[in-house]
Structure 1
């Protein structure tokens, strides 16, 4: 069973996608299950993990409603306000939903790089552990040291590092080193924590006109340090459409993993996500 471990649906008219550029014709439109269903069938993908894209509990409720009505949505990664301890009640309520998997604070959008280490939000990480939920770690290479500190603080927390922690591939292509410090930080996360990694988001960190060779060193490194059993493929659709359509990125990812044996590829394209998120 192949699984897309990271995709989004949204309705901009809901009014809480504050990061979304209103003049971007690709992003600032509604995306619903009907827009993706045939594409999934075309690529023999049986299910998806639907991930939050707005910093509101209302959007999490919206996604769970979509999941209730859509068999191919196997689970939902939502959001709570880590700065509001009262949101523990919301987290406990959401955790009772059979398709609620865990949470993802939008750390990449928070100006304070050290936000995740603040004393006043540690209650939320403890609650994720206590409720046996998952934590999607969303950040940039500058966040790598703090994620290492955080995840080692909570070794029982089930963590997946989104989008390979967003290496700035466009900088590498322009002649600036985007690989060295990122590669070192990712290797430490892989070696010193039990976290998993999503093979996703690479095309949107590359420049226009990217090709597979721009992505290959980054994908190869992630597969090497985590191993296929801790790497899960995700489309990051529709965000990926900024640089590639769903099928283009899927086929690129298949090519990037062509040297793996059949069992290892099955892990990357389904088995790992099913185990990590405990999908039925």
Structure 2
């Protein structure tokens, strides 16, 4: 029987990259805090200081080559519990590609980087049926990287694919820095809409990046409260979004803030948010080599 003491802390969303690879179109030399290689050795002391045992590494380039690179990295790195890669989800041959990549046991999902696509309605209109069927067949998840403006299109996709496990990245990137009531209202309505689908989870991540410099617990509190109210502690999972987090915070600061902002939860609920939910959602292997129930 799993007890609170045996539930390991898992960072459900972080990145490794090397700009020298040449396929990170968004990552430019002007982004001085991010424009260098980041690997497991860089994250290890930060994880240790927060008691985080393992992580889910998420793609940062829309290429199959980067996905293979991450899987190669994960193969010999025990701290990587799983990889969320990228595939051309609307390619006619995507099922064959997914089947090939799924031979790597640490591939746990895919992410099409919806926020960067020129068409906000792509996920609603693209022919992704083959890709979705392959994801379901191989028990892989789908990460949705979206803003509020994608709400209608994503909701249509969610309704169409009830058997696909989906997680909303970064709480749908709320407009925290804008501070406007209309922005909060539109975002909160989108979150509530997503949460009505029982197969959808959400990541408590990326909020610091969306805030003004100098953010504190009070800055993030209403946004975290709505995520908790919408998804509950059973469908919310903490992630660092490191090293993107370095643009407006640091690992220990965000981890401590998230701990305080969820302190009203029970011990079981906190253990779920900070590890158990990620392990179950992504079907991560435990120390015994078996996936957890759920």
- Alignment TM-score, normalising by the size of structure 1: 0.96
Whether 2:215 is the aligned partner of 1:210: answer: yes
Q: Give the distance between the partners of 1:69 and 1:107, measured in 2 at CA.
A: 30
Pick the aligned partner of 2:38 from 14, 22, 31.
31
Q: Look up the match of 2:191.
A: 186
Q: In structure 2, the residue corresponding to 1:179 is in which secondary structure?
A: helix
TM-superposed CA distance for 1:178, in Å, is 2.1
Counterpart residue number, 2:127: 120
Q: CA deviation at 1:208?
A: 1.5
Distance in 1 (CA, whole Å) between partners of 2:108 and 2:98 is: 11
After TM superposition, give the deviation of residue 181 of structure 1 in Å.
1.1
**Unmatched 5+ residue regions in structure 2?**
1-7, 286-294
Aligned to 1:278: 283
Question: 1:188-267 maps to which residues of 2 (within 5 A)?
Answer: 188-267=193-272
Correspondence for 2:291: none
User: May I ask how many residue pairs the two structures share in their alignment?
Assistant: 278
Distance, in Å, in 2 between the alignment partners of 1:114 and 1:130 is 25
Residue 20 of structure 1 and its aligned partner are, at CA, apart by 1.0
* The one of 138, 145, 150 aligned to 1:138: 145
Aligned to 2:4: none
Structure 2 distance, partners of 1:40, 1:27, is 18
SS of 2:177's equivalent? Answer: helix
| Deviation by residue 1:218-242 (Cα, 9 ceiling, x = unmatched) | 1111111111010000000000010
Structure-2 separation of matches of 1:145 and 1:112: 13
Following superposition of structure 1 onto structure 2, how do residues 100-119 of structure 1 map, counting pairs within 5 Å?
100-119=107-126
Q: Secondary structure at the match of 2:190?
A: helix
CA contact (8 A) 2:158 2:197 kept: no
Displacement of 1:100 after TM fit?
Answer: 0.6
Q: Does 1:65 align with 2:72?
A: yes
Q: Report Cα offsets for 1:1-56 as digits up to 9, x if no partner.
A: 10000000000000000011221111111101100111111111111000000000
Structure 1 Cα separation of the partners of residues 11 and 144 of structure 2: 17
Q: 1:121: how far off? A: 3.0
Instruction: Give the Cα–Cα distance (whole angstroms) in 1 for the partners of residues 251 and 114 of structure 2.
Output: 25
> Larger % of helix: which?
1
State the distance in 2 between where 1:37 and 1:116 align.
Answer: 35
Does residue 255 of structure 2 align to residue 269 of structure 1?
A: no
CA–CA distance in structure 2, aligned partners of residues 153 and 130 of structure 1: 16
